[in-house]
Amino acid sequence: MITLRPGGERGLAEFDWLKSRHSFSFADYHDPEHMGVSDLRVINEDTIAPAGGFGTHGHRDMEIISYVLEGALKHRDTLGNEMVIGEGEVQRMSAGTGIMHSEYNASDAAPAHFFQIWVMPERAGIEPGYEQKLFSAEDKRGKLRVIVSPDGRDGSLRIHQNAALYASVLGDGDTVSHPLETGRQAWVQLARGAVTVNGTALNAGDGAAIADEASVEITATGGEDAEFILFDLR
């Protein structure tokens, strides 16, 4: 079963420095029909204007992933990390018992475009932690590259939950397939281009929940590269 989440129907928060589309209920946007999938609680597609950003604020008991599509983010937290997260880089921050951080566009000239992702942790009270790694377009081209996993396999970032996140860049007509074990489900979020997911068409910004399927088959369409992320969930 495929359930489409059209990009144009997502929640919207828009300020002079931020445009954010919410796949699931978040902040002032509440939709009881879109509260998340399994342990996946938030997918926000954010564009931050030059020099804009989120001032220092706190999180706890959440696994937070940033996937940078364009531009760069400047991150600072109470663990002592002061990092710039560039295009193709992925950050995993385990908020655990509590962490304060800020996140700004690292550029005074170009926007920063990224996915902000929240996953519920396997338990409360985890020690806060931070990881960051580059996954180049070539590393993702024509395949599903695991970028976040419970065991850090294949050089992926480690998350404290039984969930895995894959990323891919496909040329027109290219196909990848991901098996789903019994009882597992998936979410696909398309960043750019166009694809079909088990025969259902998605355009940039669209998402899809996949359940009660043996596998997820994704084919790029539309004559240009397609970039997307895929979650394998309980």
Q: Is 119 exposed, middle or buried (0-12, 13-18, 19+ CB in 10 A)?
A: buried
pLDDT of residue 203: 98
d(CA 5, CA 143): 24
What's the mean pLDDT in 17-34?
Answer: 98
pLDDT of residue 67: 98
> Exposed (0-12), middle (13-18) or buried (19+): which is 7, by Cβ within 10 Å?
middle
pTM recorded for the entire structure = 0.98
Task: Say how far apart CA 183 and CA 129 lie, in whole Å.
Answer: 30
Domain interval for residue 17: 2-233
pLDDT-derived band at 52 (thresholds 50, 70, 90) equals very high
**Amino acid (1-letter code) at residue 11:** G
How far is the C-alpha of 223 from the C-alpha of 234, rounded, in Å?
34
CB 167, CB 130: distance < 8 Å: no
CB 10 within 8 A of CB 22: yes
Cα separation, 190 vs 168, in Å, equals 10
Q: How many domains does the chain have?
A: 1
Strand order in the sheet with 175-179: 175-179, 215-221, 194-197, 200-203
- Provide the H-helix boundaries in 75-140: 137-140
Task: Give tens-digit pLDDT for 88-145.
Answer: 999 999 999 999 999 999 999 999 999 999 999 999 999 999 999 999 999 999 999 9
The tokens describing 155, both together, are 């050089």
Tokens of 215: 């596998």
Q: Which residues contact 182 (CB under 8 A, 6 or more apart)?
A: none
What CATH number has the domain bearing residue 153? 2.60.120.10
Percentage with pLDDT > 70 across the chain: 100
Q: How far is CA 45 from CA 176, 189, 194, 223, in A?
A: 23, 10, 17, 24
Q: Which of 180, 190, 185, 187 is nearest to 214 (CA)?
A: 180
Q: Output the pLDDT for position 63.
A: 98
